[in-house]
Amino acid sequence: MDEVTSVSSHFQESQFSETSFVAAIIIRELFTVIRKNVVALIAAPLIAGTLVAAYASFRTKEYTSLAYLRLDENSARAADAIMSSVPVLVQLLTEFKVDGATAEDRRRELDSKRSISVAPNQNPRTSTLFRLSVTNADPAMAQAINAAFIAAWLQATIPPPINLRTLNDEIARTEQLIPQMSALLDVIKKASPPVLHAENTLSEDALTPAIALITKIDQANKRIEQLKLQTLGASQDAVFSPPNLPDAPNPSHAVRWGLLAAIAAEILLLMFFWFRHSIEWRQAE
């Protein structure tokens, strides 16, 4: 048993030593690659980062117009889907000029400049305030397109003719039920025997059906209010804050893009030199 343990321990030690030896060789060769190409490894990333940062600084500046909408998460998703729909985008393209080789390209370009997100400092699941952003090279155009998206969304929430007729029919039927229930309530009140020493008080037998009728009348009135709101679509009150006119361009993040470009160039260049060194190393063997 001791012999087996000893052999196993010796095998693990030899395996560890072999791994350490290979790692040491790799590290040594890596330092060799860096030493031979140190100038290129420093200069190339600096040049790449500078060029990208310069491009980010001098490219066309963009402005973002912001509007805030009183919506829950489901309503915000629905609004986003409506604004991304083909009919809405086609409608806006008749009002605003957008670059693109085809109609599909223009729709994609227009939609790519718009986004709906949770307002800052809000919980995505419980938030009732969302932010609609539209970006454009012209600040006034960004504001106008943002307002057009909101107007098109509000218009699209109005029920189409068939659904509108169905809603109006249900409103009419519910309104007819209220006088009937009110008349029945009056009958119950008149038929109820008077309670001693209590004015305008129903007997115990008449109280239960009267309460049930009053409850149904209240429910019918609330249902009518809900149906009438549905016929109007989304309320203008959903617009908590209309689109603003941006007075400053979006940050270019030139330093960030330059740093990322420099890091990417450094990694790619190091991989290239390591690959070339590996080939030379194997040929030398």
146-180 pLDDT, tens digit per residue, is 999 999 999 888 877 777 688 787 888 888 888 88
Total domains present in the chain = 3
pTM of the model: 0.58
Q: Which of 66, 65, 71, 115 is nearest to 237 (CA)?
A: 71
- 67 within a domain of the structure (yes/no): yes
- 248 within a domain of the structure (yes/no): no
- 12 within a domain of the structure (yes/no): yes
Residue 114: CATH number of its domain: 3.30.1890.10
Whether 152 and 78 share a structural domain? yes
Using CA atoms, how far residue 23 sits from 177, 256, 269, in Å, is 87, 34, 22
The domain in which residue 216 lies consists of 161-232
- 104 within a domain of the structure (yes/no): yes
Helix (H) or strand (E) holding 131: strand 129-136
- 272 within a domain of the structure (yes/no): yes
Whether 177 and 154 share a structural domain? no
Q: Which residues pair with 65 in a beta bridge?
A: 134
Cα–Cα distance measured from residue 40 to residue 43, given in angstroms and rounded to the nearest whole number: 5
- Per DSSP, helices labelled H in the chain are 2-36, 38-58, 73-84, 86-93, 103-112, 139-156, 161-191, 204-232, 254-284
Cα–Cα distance measured from residue 67 to residue 134, given in angstroms and rounded to the nearest whole number: 9
What is the three-class DSSP state of 253? coil
DSSP 62: -
Whether 95 and 150 share a structural domain? yes
pLDDT tens for the 285 residues of the chain, in order: 554 455 455 545 555 566 776 677 778 777 777 888 888 878 888 888 787 777 766 666 889 999 999 998 888 999 999 999 999 999 999 999 998 899 999 999 999 999 999 998 888 778 899 999 999 999 999 999 999 999 999 988 887 777 768 878 788 888 888 888 888 878 877 776 554 434 455 556 667 777 888 888 888 888 878 777 667 667 788 899 999 999 888 776 666 777 888 888 888 888 888 888 778 767 666
- Residue whose tokens read 């491009």: 55
Cα–Cα distance measured from residue 111 to residue 133, given in angstroms and rounded to the nearest whole number: 11
Whether 97 and 139 share a structural domain? yes
Q: Which of 154, 147, 155 is nearest to 66 (CA)?
A: 147
Whether 172 and 206 share a structural domain? yes
- 247 within a domain of the structure (yes/no): no
Whether 150 and 172 share a structural domain? no
Whether 34 and 115 share a structural domain? no
- 249 within a domain of the structure (yes/no): no
Burial class (CB in 10 A: 0-12, 13-18, 19+), 53: buried
Phi, psi of 95 (to 5 degrees): -100, -30
Check if the beta carbon of residue 129 is closer than 8 Å to that of residue 68.
yes
Whether 180 and 154 share a structural domain? no
Q: Which residues pair with 70 in a beta bridge?
A: 129
- 76 within a domain of the structure (yes/no): yes
Cα–Cα distance measured from residue 202 to residue 193, given in angstroms and rounded to the nearest whole number: 7
Whether 39 and 77 share a structural domain? no
Check if the beta carbon of residue 142 is closer than 8 Å to that of residue 246.
yes
Whether 6 and 34 share a structural domain? yes
Whether 190 and 152 share a structural domain? no
Phi, psi of 130 (to 5 degrees): -120, 155
DSSP 101: S
Whether 84 and 133 share a structural domain? yes
